[in-house]
A and B are shown apart, each in its own frame.
Chain A
Amino acid sequence: MTTTSSDTEQVPVAAPLVGRPDVNRKRMARLGWGFTTPSLIVIGLVTIFPIVYSVVLSFSAATVTGNGVALNGFTGSNYSLVLSSSKWHYALGFTIIYTLVTVLVELVFGTLIALVLERLTAGRGLMMALLLIPWSMITVINAELWGYIYQGTYGVADAILNAVGLGHPNILGQSTPAIIGLMIADIWKTTPFVAILVLAGLVMLPGDIYEAAEVDGSSGWSTFWRITVPLLRPTLALAVMFRVLQAFGLFDLPYVLTNGGPGTATTSLAILGYNVIFKNLSFGPGAAVATTSALLVLLGCLLSLRTFRVQVGKED
């Protein structure tokens, strides 16, 4: 349910105000601020403050002391340290490739599944419920599950690979297989989410436009590429943005499955930041990793929106 402004304007107010829209609106606005201020303060404390604090931290020569962290004044050295570090370069490259591959595959599979679901007349609800099982699973549990599947002696994936004559490859013990394994686990979990999102977009598309296209002589792929995809653009943009945000912050899957390994093969930016802060206790550089990651993901989202040339929520 969305509430439009005209709905709120119809909320009954004290009698003397009725019929004086200007006074009315000002009063209502003040009332609105009154209601929202407490929650804004709470939100500010739990989200804005940590963000600001980590930015401050990233510009500080912070050290751990007996009773917490001392900022010790401004410095730019955290950033120069991070930006020139080969570990950061690798983590950045890995995170970007991981994001691109998973988002692309999820988008393609998700759209295909949505197209199939849309054509289903019976059992669509059941199919959707089944599809949502992976998505509703907590990531850590999902990771544990795939951990068993990839396990080198009794894992299902291992058994299958063995059966086709590939021996016991120890999937999570080698760089490239581990990366692919992580991607598969992510795709398995998140494709249904993309599918449901795209399906919601699909069922909203007006049916008579498709009939018009049919009368105009369009069919199959031509209709898909010339009508469906363009009309679905806002939905696809939304899906991509969600997924880019999530994938770029990749943390719990490698944390559980590979702990960033083997070596540093699956060390994402988030894992790197975590390690720097909580293992090395280097608060300044760790905060710099976090801050640059946040800026990069913002850039990534803007770029993906640009690609789809839409402002979400705005037609044309």
Chain B
Amino acid sequence: MTLQAYQEKTAACWAGCKQTHAEFMANPNLSGGQKLAVHYFTVAMVLFMAQLLFGLLAGLQFIFPSFLYEILDFNVNRMVHINAMVVWLLYGFLGSVYWFLEDESGVEIVGLKWGQLAFWVLTGAVTIVVLVYLLIQIGSGTDTSLWLINEGREYIEAPRWADIGIVVVMLTFFYNVAATFSKGKWSGIAGVLTLDLVALAGLYLAGMFYVTNISVDQYWWWWVIHLWVEATWEVLVGCIMAWSLMKLLGVRRKVVQTWLYIEVALMFGSGILGLGHHYFWIGTPEYWFTIGGFFSALEPIPLVAMVVHSIYDAGAHKFKNSNHPALAWIIAHAFGNFLGAGVWGFMHTLPQINLYTHGTQWSASHGHLAFFGAYATINIAFFYLAAQQARGNVWMGGGLANGWRWKTAAVLLNLGVMGMTVALLIAGYEQSFIERAVEGSTWAGYFAAQNHPWFMQAMIWRMVFGLMTAVGGGLLFWDLLEIGKGEQRPAAVIDSEAVNP
């Protein structure tokens, strides 16, 4: 292709993108906040695809260690895999809150322009960070590397300049939420949500400094990771669930909000001190055995309560709802959260067990089911709510055109992740026994476990189910682009108990 032909092609492509975006911005079915939400959801889906791709690359390297050796090494693929996950889930949360902010507050978003600007700034920054991860990868042992390339701390590898950018964007987001609720109605959901966002953003600061002492380093690192996923993120999805149950099923506000407070009490009451289950082996004092073991063992209780609550509500409303795919994913969320975080978490949370499972594929098994079950699911539910509204609040009940697509995607994704989880669980048990209990955790012991046929078989099954997950993900993306297009019937109307008890 000549340079000129190339330039023409890119120009045409760019013009096409601008055209599509302009058409989208003129969509009469969406409010300003909802349009912003769809921006976040779109990038979230793209990053989800990237997460799956790099997961497959990393998984393959367990089976073929020379695959992409010194081109895209395991640490690079894994970093992109888990960073894409953290970022797409956060994008999904931001989008979900923007989605219901106007509905919940009763007024238009106060600083919509700032919110839009923040979206483009954040997306630009994420693009640069990913390109640097892939092209530069690592630096020399200096502060400059930590500021510009990567910080080398799992999950929060983003270089320091990006950390600062993230905090600025979060502040803009927080301003929009707080100011919009202040101008409109302050509901119970609004109050919990606002305070939770302060905590969520504040915790990020605990991961933004460098220390030599690795015990101190990991102490604060866990404040970010654990107090995010087992406290503030849980409460955030609690708020999102509360709103969804009112909208999708028509549950009464009073019931939903009372439950939300109960869940906050149980979740924070167990999750904050449950942090101690990460302080067994990093140099921290022995009292964390008791505190961490006890409180983290209580963490499943709110997760059980949430299942009971949502299934009860769904049953009480005879599963009548206006968006079948979204409700299906909300049910997947309730069970996934309970299983992945509650059951899988509980199984290795006591120090007597964790001594052997700590840092094995056991943790990876739990990590996959928990992040997918608790957080990917609820975001996907919101993607479906957005697709429905964007296409004119159309029918999304039974007899949907091409309804096989969302169902197949849901089955493949859920089965795929469950299959990977079980494969990794087997690998984790094998490692705990052979590497840890029998061999005594030396390097030779580590490799004895890695080379064992049981481990290798588990790695192959993980790839099989990983492929299934990836196919499901692709199908989901396709479905979200198409679902409801050309649908003429309006969405089912849900009676709210408040109006019609």
Asked whether A and B interact, the reply is no
Q: Which residues of B pack against A, CB within 8 Å? A: none
Q: Which residues of A pack against B, CB within 8 Å? A: none
